[in-house]
Amino acid sequence: MSVSEPLHVPRTIALVGLMGVGKTSIGRRLAQRLGLAFVDADSEIEAAAGASIEEIFERHGEAAFRDGERRVIARLLEQPPHVLATGGGAVMDPSTRALLRLRAISIWLRADLELMLSRVARRNNRPLLKNGDRRAVLERLMAERYPVYAEADLTVDSIDGPPEATVERVMAALAAHLATGKETVP
């Protein structure tokens, strides 16, 4: 059953989760359903730096990228409510985490390792997956990050198949969350 619109969303919806779970493709469609703007944090970082994520990692290293990521997300969280796809490592930063808690409804998009592997295989532009065995890297990141992703307000399984099916699950989780009345306009 599909969720009847409109849903009134008082805060930014921040999608968190590992590379390849579909944060961008789900986020874009979710924004459309909610009548909100969609913003991709990685694209914003690239625009601010005038360089691709790959170039930022190559020229300045991961620490510089994380620094830019923290600043860009802090700026985005000052904007009116929108749907924000964060990069997979963004929530590992404690200050980003604290800001998300304050200003956003966070949704952990979780997918099977096999699904993530098949999705990340489509492109080779993710610095963390360029060297070494992708499966091993993703398994390590799952171990490190899942306890942190699990702090998100909501968890939704991103499933194989048409993205609309996962969007529907997100809409249902969001509708249930909003119906609790815990989300008041800040």
Residues engaged in binding ligand S3P (CB under 6 A): 19, 23, 42, 53, 87-89, 126-128
By beta-carbon proximity to ligand S3P, the closer residue of 82 and 126 is 126
Beta sheet of 104-110, edge-to-edge order: 38-40, 83-85, 12-16, 104-110, 154-157
Q: 47 with 69: CB under 8 angstroms?
A: no
By beta-carbon proximity to ligand S3P, the closer residue of 151 and 183 is 151
By beta-carbon proximity to ligand S3P, the closer residue of 81 and 88 is 88
For the bound state, the minimum distance from the C-beta of residue 5 to ligand S3P, rounded and expressed in Å, comes to: 27
Q: 25 with 72: CB under 8 angstroms?
A: no
For the bound state, the minimum distance from the C-beta of residue 182 to ligand S3P, rounded and expressed in Å, comes to: 28
For the bound state, the minimum distance from the C-beta of residue 54 to ligand S3P, rounded and expressed in Å, comes to: 8
- Closest to 24 measured CA to CA, from 70, 88, 115: 88
